[in-house]
Structures are given as C-alpha cells and as structure tokens.
Structure 1
C-alpha cells in the first residue's frame, strides 16, 4: 500500500456493518435544521447555478469559507449536505453549497445540465469567492459525483490555480465506467433506479418545453434502464462527448490523482456499493499532496457509528478535524483555533 493510502479509523457498529445499511442509515435519521439564503450566480454561458448560504453567516470577512459540492441529484436537503454545512457553520466557517445546474429550486436555462467531470462552474465560483473574500481561507468538499468533479478540478489547476487551502473528496467514483457497472449489479440497481428516475424526470420536463439535441423520444427516454444507456443517449450528446465510454474516460478523475498538488484528503469505503472493491488498486499512485483514507466498511457516504451513546456520522467528525487542521494555516485564525469539536457534531 502506498504511504499516501492509509486505513481510516472508522469502525462500523456490530450489526450495522452491511454496506447497504451504512448507505441508507443517514436517510433514516433526522436532518439538522438549517436556515439559508439563496443566491443566483450567473455563469459566462448564460446559465446559472444556485448557491445556498447557511444563516447566520460570520460577521468577519476573513472568516474561513467552507464550499460544498453535492452528489448526483443531491441538494441542500441531502442528509450529508445538511450535516456537513451545519457542522462547518457551528465551527465558525462561512458555509455555502453550490447546486449543480438544475439541482436547485429552479430548472436551469440551457438544454445541458451537469456531469461528473464538469469543472467549469466550480472553477468560476471559486474565482468569484476569491474576489469577495480575498483574506479568507477556503476549503472545498465534494461528495460522490461532486467529489470526482473536485478531484478533477484540483488536478487540472495545479497547486496555485485555485484559492483553496485544501480539498476533501468523499466517496468519489474515480472510475466512472466501473461505477456504472457496479450500479447495474445486485441490490445496487436500487440506487441506479432512484437516480435515473430523477434524472429522466428533469430531461422529460425539458423535452416537453422544446426539442433537445438528443435523438430520443419521450418513450425511449423512459426505457433507459442503466447509467450506461442514459449516459450514452443523454449525458454524452448534451455535453459534447461521443459516447458513454468517451464520457467516462474523459470525466473520471482517478487517472489524475498522481498529478495533484493541492493538499487533498480522499475518504473512501472499500465496500462502497457504487464502486468496485479494487478501485485504488487500478488507479495511479496518489501524489504526495494526497492522503487517501480507506475504511473496510462504511458504504456510500455512510460511515455511521456510535459516538457519545448516539448513532452519528463519523464522516462529519473526520471532516471537522480536517477543517480545524487547515484553519490553523490562516494568519487570522487565532480566534478559530480555540473552537472545540462540538459535542453536537453528527
């Protein structure tokens, strides 16, 4: 094992170690209540993304900034999003989530949507945040699809190309073709069906408003029953790829992990039902800037165990520790260093 790939300190409770149990548990627990302000960020191509800013925001302009990118068909209301944003806010960070195109409260303007390798919108947003908060330390966190996108972005931009102190990638499908295969097998088809239903509903709504640059009828769209089929017939033509295979090859971030210069933490479970079990055996050796922590169990964005007598998210506690470490890099962070890891963290 590479010295940049180490075991995570997560341990699943007895009886809750099944990968599907871990994946589904967060959805069964109450979500933190969280107030937000919505901002429409216009993009250079005429489209927009919705930003969800957690309220109340820190008063200081140099308060550290926590930027979250959600997973496929996720949003501010996703359990992991609420938990991570609430934790960051409690610890004094200015917390914001970028909804990928069409994932906010309103459909996006253009026929295209978003995909796993689409780094342009995130790059534009980070540039805007650098102008607004030039003295704030910034950390970006990506979950699932958002994690693959973030890893690809930091690899593309090098160590100085982004105003970020670090990046955290959670349950990143770094080999998209292998993930599409995994999600088309066994119980994982349950996740595939739910995600495809949401994706196809949005495309059908756009088709009802006018023609799209895809060679599909509404009935043919409805019949697409795998990510391979959907990405071949919808994602690829809408976003300039020749096929699903072309999309998976070009958008997968795993091939780039040896080139990353920005401090990056990758959190992964070996039993993730969205991926093949040998994911990191088939990828290049991560660069020295990358730390990969792999747990034996945890599922997909699960990582639930008991903490202080209650079932809580190890993932949120691990991200909180990393934020505290990186916050000490900021010259203005003396006030933040004293903030304890709250007992109320999930």
Structure 2
C-alpha cells in the first residue's frame, strides 16, 4: 500500500469547511455515528498505571492485538488537551492500528480522563519529564518492537518533544507522527482569543473548568484557585496557573517552555511526520510554514481537515487512520528487514 499524503484528502462539500471538520472531530454526533469497528481497541483493554518518575503516576490502557502471530510492534497514542484515552480520535486510530496487528498503549496525561486523583499537583504543558519517564516504563513493560508514537494537538506537541529526548535516555523510539500539533503556544493562545470564533475558546474553557473542579474535589484540602480566577478567560486563568503552580516567572516564559517553533526540532534524531491542515482554525498554518526542520522530519500540510478532523464523509471515519497506519506499517516492514 502506497503512503497517503495530505493532498490526497478531498472530502465532499460541506466537509471542506475547516470549522465543520473541527467541530465534528470531537462531537457526540461523531461518536454515535462511528462504526463499531472504530471502538474495538477499548474491548478487553487493560487499565494500567505507569511510572512518571519522582512519585508521579499516569494512567493508561493497553490492548494486545490478536490478528497476527506476533505484533507488528507497539503503538503509543497521546490525546489532546482535555481529551483522554477514550477520545473518539484516539479510539478510532487505536482500533485501526489494532486491526493491522499493532499492540496499543493509550496514555492519559496528568489530570486527564479519570486520573485527577493520582497526583496532587496540577497538570501543565511543560511537564515533559514525567511523560518521557512514562514512555520509558511502557517500553520496558511491553517490549514489542518497533516502538512508534502518535499524538494529536497538544498530544502532538508532547509527542515531538518526547521524541527529541528519547535518544538521550535510551528509549528505543523508532518513529513519531504528530497530527495538528501545537507549534508556538503563544501564537495558538492568541489565535484562540483574537481570531478564532468565540465558541472554540468557550468549548475549551468549559472542559478545563470542569477538569479543575474535578481536581478540587479529589483534593479538597488543597485550594488550587480562587473563584475569581476560575471566572477568567483563557489567558487570565492560564496566567494564574503559571504563577500559582509552576516555577515560571511569566506567562510568556511558560509558553516558550513547550514551544517547538523555529529551529527547535533540529534536535530530532529519529524519523518524524507532522500532518496539519491549511484550514485549521485553532493553530494558524503560518506556525508550520515558519519551521526550520531537519531532513528526517516530513511536514505535510493538507488543504482541508480543520483541527484534528480529517473526516472523510458522513460516516465520520477519519483519513488520519489510513495515514497513520500506512506510515507505522512501513516502519514495521523496514524494522522486520533489519
């Protein structure tokens, strides 16, 4: 099977709207319309807690494939901000890879899914060390090879940053693929506030406030925010998080802390692919066009797809499933020949 590229994604009208693609990507409508085959990764999945180092615990789910005598390898999936291992796009991608013979590990970031009670400190996007440590624990406990990684949105940003550290700590990661990753967090924040339609910020803020209230209930003895701070919009609440719960001295310093913009990814030592869409209303395409990338990183900008949408038709299946599976399978075929 030849590899797919972003230019191959040509959805029918009206799915050529980036806003419709984005809104459908995580909608309840999509979850209802998805075929049963898109949810098989959750059947028989083993819930596990992995070691994030320094006492940190992260939750996840492991599913062993049964379609081949031996697995193609181990595929690890990272969800986006306020998503989880049970997000529609994670289930759909995991189910497709499972059918192709991959063992699957879906990781929850701190305070995502139902993991708010595992760690007292709040999640923030610069907690890279615990995710790298968790990936190392996963690699040791489930030794199928090759080990490949895919992430979506903030999970794509984490996946790229993790991949730049694995060679330093001896994690045998073979390949990473990021779908619509956050590149320059400051640009993304400004875009949500200033140029994206109001309902995107409202959607994320509703989910984030709900998550923070869940965290507060898990640790009632610890006051995470004042009520006046909880009522602020994205920038104000993010700044309160930074000043209250991190060592960063300013919001900008924090945002720079998880940026992969400019030439930062020159440090990438393994093959990687970045897939995004020119009509993504959440992460401006100019952030991708301004990247300075080494030859081992493939940048693929599709004309359509919205933010982590890439929905093919009204059956709600996603182009990214075949896209990711094709590249992962190519890595496995090359690994088998080595």
Assess same fold via TM > 0.5: yes
**Separation in 2 of the partners of 1:277 and 1:330?**
33
Superposed displacement of residue 185, structure 1: 3.2
Please give the TM-score of this superposition, normalised by the length of structure 2: 0.86
Report the CA distance shift for 1:194/1:243 in structure 2 as closer, same or farther (over 3 A).
same
Counterpart residue number, 1:64: 73
Counterpart residue number, 1:89: 98
Checking the alignment, whether the CA contact within 8 Å between 1:237 and 1:243 is kept in structure 2 is no
Total equivalences in the alignment:
321
Counterpart residue number, 2:21: 22
**Separation in 2 of the partners of 1:66 and 1:44?**
22
**Separation in 2 of the partners of 1:188 and 1:24?**
11
User: 2:63 matched to 1:76?
Assistant: no
User: 2:332 matched to 1:327?
Assistant: yes
Alignment deviations for residues 181-224 of structure 1 (CA, whole Å, 9 cap, x no partner): 11113554312222222222332344450234x6x41x213311
Superposed displacement of residue 96, structure 1: 1.1
Structure 1 residue matching 2:312: 3-state secondary structure: strand
Gap runs ≥5 in structure 2: none
**Separation in 1 of the partners of 2:197 and 2:276?**
17
User: 2:135 matched to 1:130?
Assistant: no
**Separation in 1 of the partners of 2:74 and 2:303?**
31
Superposed displacement of residue 313, structure 1: 1.0
**Separation in 2 of the partners of 1:195 and 1:60?**
42
Counterpart residue number, 2:158: 149
Checking the alignment, whether the CA contact within 8 Å between 2:176 and 2:273 is kept in structure 1 is yes
**Separation in 1 of the partners of 2:180 and 2:241?**
24
CA-atom RMSD, angstroms? 2.5
**Separation in 2 of the partners of 1:127 and 1:160?**
8
User: 2:276 matched to 1:265?
Assistant: no
Decide which moves more: 235-244 or 160-169: 235-244
Counterpart residue number, 1:223: 231
Superposed displacement of residue 230, structure 1: 1.9
Counterpart residue number, 1:314: 319
User: 2:51 matched to 1:46?
Assistant: no
Superposed displacement of residue 282, structure 1: 2.9
**Structure number having the greater helix percentage:** 2
From 227, 232, 241, the equivalent of 1:234 is 241
Please give the TM-score of this superposition, normalised by the length of structure 1: 0.84
Report the CA distance shift for 1:44/1:61 in structure 2 as closer, same or farther (over 3 A).
farther
User: 2:281 matched to 1:282?
Assistant: no
Checking the alignment, whether the CA contact within 8 Å between 1:231 and 1:243 is kept in structure 2 is no
Paired residues for 1:299-310 under 5 Å:
299-306=306-313
Superposed displacement of residue 179, structure 1: 0.4
Structure 2 residue matching 1:185: 3-state secondary structure: helix
Paired residues for 1:201-216 under 5 Å:
201-207=210-216, 209-212=220-223, 216=225
**Separation in 2 of the partners of 1:12 and 1:78?**
22
